[in-house]
Amino acid sequence: MTRILVADPLEASGLDILRAAGAEVHLVSAAERARLPELVAEVDALVVRSATKVTRALLESANRLRVVGRAGVGVDNVDVEAATERGVLVVNAPTGNLVSATEHTFALLLAVARSVPAADASMKRGEWDRKRFVGLELQGKTLGVVGLGRIGQRVASRAQAFEMKVVACDPFLDSAQAAQLDVELLPLDDLLAASDVVTLHTPSTRETRHLIDARRLALLKPNAILINCGRGGLVDEAALLAALEAGRLGGAGIDVFEEEPTARHELTKHPRVVATPHIGAQTREAQERIAIETAHMVLAGLDGAIPPGAVNRPRSRPEPY
């Protein structure tokens, strides 16, 4: 019988799909987490979200593992290189949270632009201080989208509904595609200098780590807003805090951090920052889609297919049991 280990919480709909396919599904309890290397030893598939780190050492503990399923977009917590070397297919759920991440980008942008959290906190203290909360309109402003993939394109179209001008930086998109989206392509430094709001939607790679560093933060307009619902590590958090403290940035909305949970409380508590604990995908609808999509990707991988959510091509694949 096919055995699947689910190391992080997964919606019941996804579990039902795995069980309906005849798999034996084991959910890792809190008390069992320390035994994860032992538990993964004799399973065919491992399903994780963000909490479990699929390291080289963990993969080396697995004797028959064929598929790792990441229930979400991106595989930052999976050692894909080690999995590839060991013949393990890695899949994710690439479309499950597109809408939720897009909408959360605007939740943070509007919250920063109109000081919504601070105004709400003021009201809850029994105050009525209208003059303190002078906001910023989006209409007529320029939005710079860094990474014009599936989420970036959705952000761009919604920004256009706000009557914003949209510019973008994406090395994988050509000018003809951008023109179809009514978006102007710019080099990153030019985008930063031209934008009133910058939003990040690139993957996390060696090349994109600290993509927005002290030098590039200095290119932004003094009242610009920076939004990161993409990946932790795209922004140099120390440099961002320094820019905010020096008054060189209008504000920031942050959902993802270099280390999670973050200990950089001086940043999250800054009065011009709206911070959330990596909840871009935390909607009921997204969690349902992610669970279902992950289950189907894992089962396809176990059947020997390379599904659309695959992020690697294993060097060798063990024969199915």
Residues carrying an active site annotation: 231, 260, 278
Alpha carbons 45 and 310: distance in angstroms, whole number? 14
Q: Which amino acid is at 211?
A: L
Alpha carbons 160 and 138: distance in angstroms, whole number? 10
* Nearest CA-CA partner of 17 in 296, 317, 217: 296
Q: Are 67 and 302 in contact (CB under 8 A)?
A: yes
Alpha carbons 181 and 168: distance in angstroms, whole number? 11
Q: Show contacts of 182-191: CB within 8 Å, 24+ apart.
A: 183/145, 183/148, 183/156, 186/144, 188/146, 188/216, 189/216, 189/219, 191/144, 191/146, 191/167
Q: Is residue 222 classed exposed, middle or buried when 0-12, 13-18 and 19+ CB atoms within 10 A define those classes?
A: exposed
Alpha carbons 20 and 288: distance in angstroms, whole number? 17
The 165-169 sheet, strands edge to edge: 184-185, 165-169, 142-146, 197-200, 225-228, 251-254, 273-275
Q: What is the token pair recorded at 70?
A: 């990441």
